[in-house]
Every structure is written in structure tokens, then in C-alpha cells.
Copies of this chain bind each other. A is one copy, B any other.
Amino acid sequence: MTYEQAFRALADPTRRQVLEALQKGPKSVGAIAAGLPVSRPAVSQHLKVLKEAGMVDDKAEGTRRVYYVDPRGLAALRTWLDQFWDQALAEFQRQIEEENQKQKRSDP
């Protein structure tokens, strides 16, 4: 939901692998774990973190739980990043202007 949780969620390499696995389509917990070098409970714990970050959601399907990517968490990240990016560029521009001013004063 918040970008804080999103950053924390994506900081772990295994968690990114889980997300990338789900990106190719919905998968059960066991199916995800089968493609990763960690145990199934580990995947379960990662999915919990990802879900709290709003990056995945799940639906029950018999005794299995099918997880899929939820764009909401990604959207939060994009918002934060875009804002920060714009401000960074603006500040960058301002610094250049400042340099030019100094140059003018010390020039002729």
C-alpha cells in the first residue's frame, strides 16, 4: 500500500524472484517454491510480506491458494519514484543555473 512497505518488500532478492515468477501468470504456493532454491514455508512468508505491501493478492482454490500480482503496490512505488525523479531533475537544473550565475559574476 505505502511505498515504504513496497521498498522493503522489493529489497530482498528472493522476494523479487517470487514476484517475477508470478508475473508470468498466477501460481500456487507450491508451484512458486518449486522454481526457487528455498523451502515452501519461506515462500509463504515472503508472500505474506508482498501481500501486506499490496503487491500480490490471492484467491482460494480448493485447498490451494493461487497468488497473482496486484498492480496497486507497484503503483505506489511509481508515484513516489516519479515525484522524487522530477524533484531531483529540478534540483539538478537549479544547480546548473547557480553555476552559471557564479561564472557570470567572476567573468568580465
Contacts and interface: CB of A to CB of B under 8 A. Distances in A.
- The winner among A8, A11, A78 for most chain B CB atoms within 10 A is A11
A87 B4 contact: no
Interface residues of A, number: 28
Interface in A1-46: 4, 7-8, 10-11, 13, 16, 19, 23-26
Interface in A60-89: 68-69, 71, 74, 77-78, 81, 84-85, 87-89
Given A7-B7, A10-B7, A81-B81, A26 B95 contact: yes
A23 B81 contact: no
Q: Give the copy number.
A: 2
Nearest to A13: B4
A91 interface: yes
A69 B85 contact: no
A71 B88 contact: yes
A69 B81 contact: no
Contacts of A68: 95
Contacts of A23: 84, 87-88, 91
